[in-house]
Amino acid sequence: MTPVPRFHAGYGGVPAYTGRMTNSNIPAADPPGARAPLLGFVGGGNMACAILGGLVAAGHPADRVVVVEPYAPQADIVRARFGVRVEAAGDAALAGTDIVVWAVKPQVFREAAAPCAPHVGGALHLSVMAGIRSDTIARATGSERVVRAMPNTPALIGEGIAGLYARAAVTADDRAAIERVLAPTGETLWVAQEGDLDAVTALSGSGPAYVFFFLEAMMQAAADMGLSPEQGRRLAQATFKGATSLARASDESPETLRSRVTSKGGTTYAAITAMEAAGVKRAIVAALRAAQARARELGDEFGA
């Protein structure tokens, strides 16, 4: 028996979406008095559920959503959690949709798009897939109204940020509609050139992993210095949260904020001096450039 393809986009190692959202990030799903758009989701994995969960919580009617998810166990989860219509195949199930959200693994996009294309040519398309360029999506769907998004995994709790790029056919109203769809996942940032999404991928798309990597190192150091794992975890996580909040609240640059707590001859100075000697900043910059290059390569591969 041929296995049923799992279309939903993978965010490897990320805990399943749990339905927790930050309420301040969830505005009214649609303008007052407006008829809710019919939304189609192709793929029902973590990122699709993060978007869908926020929209339903904001009041988007469940009967104005259809999800295409061929993997039966995941389809059952989506149906039970949100009360939306879930279909195993795209085809006519997507007829009449106003916005189609593509949340499948990039390597199965063409397979997923083929049966949908005859029914979605008039829709606005939002892709949260990594590596699939907008011209590929336009050709596969028959629509020039395509927006690409590069979200990140904190979107699963409503604390993410997504870089957005729109093709020329996307109107101001289309952009506003996309912002409303993504609002439950966190912030959005538009870029003018599609190539800039490779840099967005390297910075914020992959960025949470860099933070987790640094947290790992801090927690390891905590253990080496005699603190318990729980003490190390709490101290490291609270430090990142507090420092990031301070940086966001301040008009000063990170360099200035760092200098304020780096007294020459002090403990912070010793730590920063050690990191500079080890080339930490250079390594971070090189790592992001490597991620950017790989994002560009993936776009070439999937666009071929």
Q: Say how far apart CA 296 and CA 293 lie, in whole Å.
A: 5
1 confidence band (pLDDT: 50, 70, 90): very low
Q: What percent of the chain has pLDDT over 90?
A: 81
Which residues, including other chains, have CB under 8 Å from residue 88's CB and lie 6 or more apart? Answer: 68, 69, 70, 72, 75
For residue 223, the Cα-to-chain-centroid distance in whole angstroms is: 32
| Beta strands 39-42; 99-102: pairing state | parallel
Q: Say how far apart CA 1 and CA 71 lie, in whole Å.
A: 14
Do the two domains 23-195 and 207-299 of this chain adopt the same fold?
A: no
pLDDT higher than 70, residue 246: yes
Mean pLDDT of 251-277: 96
250 confidence band (pLDDT: 50, 70, 90): very high
Name the pTM for this structure: 0.86
Mean pLDDT of 35-58: 92
Q: Map residue 155 onto helix, strand or coil.
A: helix
| Beta strands 160-166; 146-150: pairing state | antiparallel
The sheet carrying 99-102 orders its strands as: 85-87, 65-68, 39-42, 99-102, 124-127, 146-150, 160-166, 186-190
Residue 7: strand pairing partners: none
Give the pLDDT confidence score for residue 24 in this predicted structure. 40
User: Average per-residue pLDDT in the chain?
Assistant: 90
Which residues, including other chains, have CB under 8 Å from residue 66's CB and lie 6 or more apart? Answer: 38, 39, 40, 41, 84, 85, 86, 87, 93, 94, 97
pLDDT higher than 70, residue 11: no
The fold for domain 207-299 equals ProC C-terminal domain-like fold (1.10.3730)
- Model confidence over 210-226: pLDDT tens digits? 999 999 999 999 999 99
Mean pLDDT of 101-117: 94
Mean pLDDT of 55-71: 93
12 confidence band (pLDDT: 50, 70, 90): very low
Orientation of helix 207-224 relative to helix 229-249, angle to 10°: 130
Give the pLDDT confidence score for residue 86 in this predicted structure. 96
Q: Greater confidence, 11 or 90?
A: 90
41 confidence band (pLDDT: 50, 70, 90): very high
The closest alpha carbon to 64, from 26, 38, 85, 40, belongs to 38
pLDDT higher than 50, residue 165: yes
Q: Say how far apart CA 237 and CA 66 lie, in whole Å.
A: 38
When computed from its CA atoms, the radius of gyration of the chain, rounded to whole angstroms, is: 21
Kindly state which CATH superfamily the domain 23-195 is placed in.
NAD(P)-binding Rossmann-like Domain (3.40.50.720)
> Domain residues of the chain, as ranges?
23-195, 207-299
Mean pLDDT of 239-268: 96
Give the pLDDT confidence score for residue 197 in this predicted structure. 97
Orientation of helix 134-141 relative to helix 280-303, angle to 10°: 20
The closest alpha carbon to 114, from 147, 142, 146, 145, belongs to 142
Q: Say how far apart CA 90 and CA 18 lie, in whole Å.
A: 26
* C-alpha count within 13 angstroms, C-beta hemisphere, residue 97: 31
The closest alpha carbon to 70, from 15, 33, 115, 133, belongs to 115
Give the pLDDT confidence score for residue 129 in this predicted structure. 93
90 confidence band (pLDDT: 50, 70, 90): confident
| Lookup result for tokens 């979200």 | 151
pLDDT higher than 50, residue 26: no
DSSP string, 90-139: -GGGGTT-SEEEE-B-GGGHHHHHTTTGGG-TTSEEEE--SS--HHHHHH
18-22, 86-90, 165-169: the lowest-pLDDT one: 18-22
- Model confidence over 125-156: pLDDT tens digits? 999 998 899 999 999 999 999 999 999 999 98
29-33, 85-89, 102-106: the lowest-pLDDT one: 29-33
Give the pLDDT confidence score for residue 91 in this predicted structure. 84
Give the pLDDT confidence score for residue 77 in this predicted structure. 96
Q: Map residue 11 onto helix, strand or coil.
A: coil
